[in-house]
């Protein structure tokens, strides 16, 4: 079996685990779901798959009230991958866990980190991180560094979503609302004309 075939097989295995875990979660059996994810983690070595599985385990631990365990899993999960959508989601989750622990400054730091991942990565819209950061820090109290970070993330998100025109960076809250709408309803890409259709 080639390396690509092994990786494909591992992803198929992870998809099966996720289906089983989703079913258990719908039944509110979080302990059994956690066992399924832990069994997968015990045998899987691929960093990207481990990152996904650790993110899932963090969600389950959070549901079970283990915020410290969830945070540890999320920190490990984000360290396993580069500036990808998966890492962005782990950083958002770390911000949410920080908020649950009432550590607002730490949450702000994680949302800022998620915005940097949005800017560095490919195809990542940062609407949720922008929204969460602005909820914790009103536009009027953003530092100059935060304003620059938000502006860069808004421009990148605008581009990723293919929104028309440019974001109004003087009113970052309005720009974020438009980005969130774009994430919920991405504009349709125009089809290239088919020269055979006449």
**pLDDT tens track for 78-127:** 999 999 999 999 999 999 999 999 999 999 999 999 999 999 999 999 99
**Residue 189 — pLDDT band, cuts 50, 70, 90?**
low
Domain assignment present for 6: no
Residues 55 and 134 in one domain: no
Domain assignment present for 179: yes
Query: Residue 89 is encoded by which pair of tokens?
Result: 């989601």
- Could you list the residue range(s) of the whole structural domain that residue 179 is in? 82-186
Domain assignment present for 1: no
Residues 38 and 109 in one domain: no
Residues 136 and 162 in one domain: yes
Q: How far apart are CA 99 and CA 97, in angstroms?
A: 5
For the full predicted model, state whether its pTM sits above 0.75.
yes
Q: How far apart are CA 136 and CA 170, in angstroms?
A: 19
Cβ–Cβ under 8 Å, residues 129 and 118: yes
Cβ–Cβ under 8 Å, residues 96 and 125: no
**Residue 9 — pLDDT band, cuts 50, 70, 90?**
confident
Residues 6+ apart with CB under 8 A from 137: 108, 146
Domain assignment present for 11: no
Alpha-carbon 166 to chain mean position? 24
Residues 49 and 89 in one domain: no
Direct distance between the N- and C-terminal alpha carbons of the chain, in angstroms, rounded to an integer: 48
Residues 104 and 169 in one domain: yes
Cβ–Cβ under 8 Å, residues 111 and 133: yes
Q: What are the backbone dihedrals phi and psi of residue 173, each rounded to the nearest 5 degrees, phi first? A: -60, -45
Q: What is the pLDDT of residues 139-170, one digit of tens each?
A: 668 889 999 999 999 999 999 999 999 999 99
């Amino acid at each position: 079996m080639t390396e690509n075939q092994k990786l494909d097989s591992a992803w198929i295995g992870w998809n099966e685990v996720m289906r089983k875990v989703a079913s258990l979660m719908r039944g509110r059996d979080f302990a059994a779901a956690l066992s399924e994810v832990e069994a997968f983690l015990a045998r899987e070595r691929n960093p990207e798959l481990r990152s996904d599985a650790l993110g899932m385990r963090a969600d389950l631990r959070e549901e079970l009230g283990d915020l410290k365990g969830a945070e540890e899993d999320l920190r490990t999960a984000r360290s396993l991958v580069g500036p990808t959508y998966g890492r962005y989601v782990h950083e958002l989750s770390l911000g949410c866990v920080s908020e649950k622990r009432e550590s607002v400054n730490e949450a702000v730091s994680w949302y800022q980190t998620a915005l940097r991942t949005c800017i560095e990565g490919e195809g990542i819209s940062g609407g949720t991180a922008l929204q969460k950061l602005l909820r914790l820090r009103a536009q009027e109290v953003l530092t100059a560094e935060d304003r620059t970070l938000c502006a860069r993330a808004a421009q990148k998100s605008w581009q990723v979503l293919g929104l028309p025109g440019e974001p109004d960076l003087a009113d970052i809250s309005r720009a974020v609302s438009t980005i969130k709408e774009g994430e919920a309803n991405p504009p349709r890409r125009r089809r290239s004309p088919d020269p055979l259709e006449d």
